[in-house]
Every structure is written in C-alpha cells, then in structure tokens.
Amino acid sequence: MKQQYDQILVTPKPFVKWAGGKRQLIPILNQNLPESFGTYYEPFLGGGALLFHILTDKNGQKCSISDLNSDLVLAYTTIRDRIDALITSLKNHEKNYQKDSESYYYSIRESNPRSEIEKTSRLIFLNKTCFNGLYRVNSKGKFNVPLGKYSNPNIVNEENIRAVSHILQSSRTAIKCRDFEAVLRDAKKGDLIYFDPPYQPVSTTSNLQAILPKISHMMI
Ligand SMILES: C[S@@+](CC[C@H](N)C(=O)[O-])C[C@H]1O[C@@H](n2cnc3c(N)ncnc32)[C@H](O)[C@@H]1O
C-alpha cells in the first residue's frame, strides 16, 4: 500500500472550485499564521484551501473542519472513506458526459441519488461542468446552475482526490456539518480559528459580515 501511495501522491489541493475559495491567497494567509497553535478550526470550510496547506505543512496537526452545506461535508467524508468507489463513479460520469455533454449534464442535475457515493460524485461532476463552478440551489434545495462552457473539463482529477483522501485518513481531522457558531463553543485557549464567511447574506436574518466584521482569523 505504501509503495502505491509513493507513486501517486501529489500535494493535495481543493477538489472543488468554490465561491470565495482562497487558493490564490495562500502565500498571504501563510505569512499571517501564528508560529504554533493547538487545534486548527475551519468553520466555513468550502474548498478548504488553507486546510490543505496546513495539513501539508504541519505533519500531525489536529484539525476540526465544518460547513453548513451537508452535500459538501458528505463529499469530504466520502473522499476520506470510499475513495475507490467514488473514482469509479466519477469515471462513469466522465464517460457519459463525453458522449453528449448537455443532455447528460441536465439529466444528472435533475437526479436525486440516494447513496453517499452517487451524491458525492454528482456534486463533484456538477462542480466541474457547471457554469463557473457555482453551487446554487433554489428554494426547494434543487441545484439550478446551468451547464458551463468548458471544452474538456477535468472531471476526475484522480491524483488529487487520492491525495486528499490520504491526508484526511492519515491526519487527525474531525469533519462535521454544523453552523459556525458551534466552533466558538468548542475552541480552547491556544487554538486557531480561520473564519472565511460568505460574502452575501445567506438570508435576511444572517448577515455574517455584520456578525464578524473584519475578522479573518483568531487565536484564542
Ligand atoms: C467563502 S466560502 C469559504 C471558502 C473557503 N475558505 C475556501 O478556501 O474554499 C464560505 C463557506 O461558508 C459556508 N457557510 C455559509 N453559512 C454558514 C454557516 N452559518 N455556518 C457554517 N458554514 C456556513 C458556505 O457553505 C461556504 O462553503
């Protein structure tokens, strides 16, 4: 098994394109990280750009990651626990998409799979092929982003999701679906919380920018 990983592992990076993703800002965020800290909390996980940087940089770092989007959180646990079946399912999407991208995209957008593997491969497939990698659902919770204009989208980035799976399995990372406020109850002195809330209010009563003015990370 070790030999297999040695051959395939690349540095893990976000496996989805996510609105507000911070991959481009990693050098700046890195400069502002404290030298040492206890548990790393990322309560607005999204694509987890800073998480993957920290897990790669700090071997053995204890992390607690969470997001309110249950489909996204399921994708993290499925990648960690069911990587082979997930890759098979994604390759199947890729094959069908290549035959007739438009009709296949809309058939999967309308589908409502039950299994964790199919739910996660649907999320990743739609993310790679939809307009701008947006995640948007209507009032009934149905994904409603149109097909994107990609000639050859990278639907199965096998090297990367295997690397993500490996680092989530081998690190001390708890993965939870929950509101960001729960983190404020869990974190202890010396822990680090990185807040990266959405830029638009998610409802008329939840303007996160008003709740967390100018805070990007916080040492307790
Ligand atoms: C700006 S994105 C985070 C981007 C992430 N830092 C990255 O690098 O990809 C904000 C995230 O907050 C999540 N979110 C929105 N409201 C939330 C809430 N009340 N509690 C926890 N997560 C929430 C969204 O689902 C979204 O994934």
Residues 9-44 pLDDT 10s: 899 999 999 999 999 999 999 999 999 999 999 999
Q: pLDDT band for 59, please (50, 70, 90 cuts).
A: confident
Compute the distance from residue 107 Cα to the ligand 1 centre, in Å: 27
* Residue 195 CB–ligand 1 contact under 6 Å: no
Q: Which two tokens stand for residue 46?
A: 């999204």
The protein residue with its alpha carbon nearest to ligand 1, atom 16, reads 68
Half-sphere exposure of 124 (CA within 13 A, CB side): 30
Read off the pLDDT of residues 67-85 as tens digits, 9 standing for 90 and up. Answer: 999 999 999 999 999 999 9
Paired tokens of 22: 């911070």
Measured from the CB, is residue 25 less than 6 Å from ligand 1?
A: no
pTM to 2 decimals? 0.90
Among candidates 13, 120, 125, 16, which has minimal Cα distance to 70?
120
Average pLDDT, integer, range 99-107: 97
Atom of ligand 1 nearest to the CA of 46: 27
Please give the domain boundaries of the chain with CATH numbers for all domains: 2-219 (1.10.1020.10)
Tokens of 121: 């491969």
Task: With CA atoms as reference, report the closest residue to 195 among 210, 176, 177, 214.
Answer: 214
The answer on pLDDT for 6 being more than 90 is no
Look at residue 191 and tell me whether its pLDDT is greater than 90. yes
Q: At 212, is the pLDDT very low, low, confident or very high (cuts 50, 70, 90)?
A: very low
Nearest-CA residue for atom 26 of ligand 1: 46
β-strand 192-194 against 217-219: which pairing, if any?
A: antiparallel
Over residues 199-220, the mean pLDDT reads: 52
For residue 34, the model assigns a pLDDT of 95
Task: Give me the amino acid identity at 66.
Answer: S
pLDDT class for 205, splitting at 50, 70, 90? low
* pLDDT for residue 215 is more than 50: no
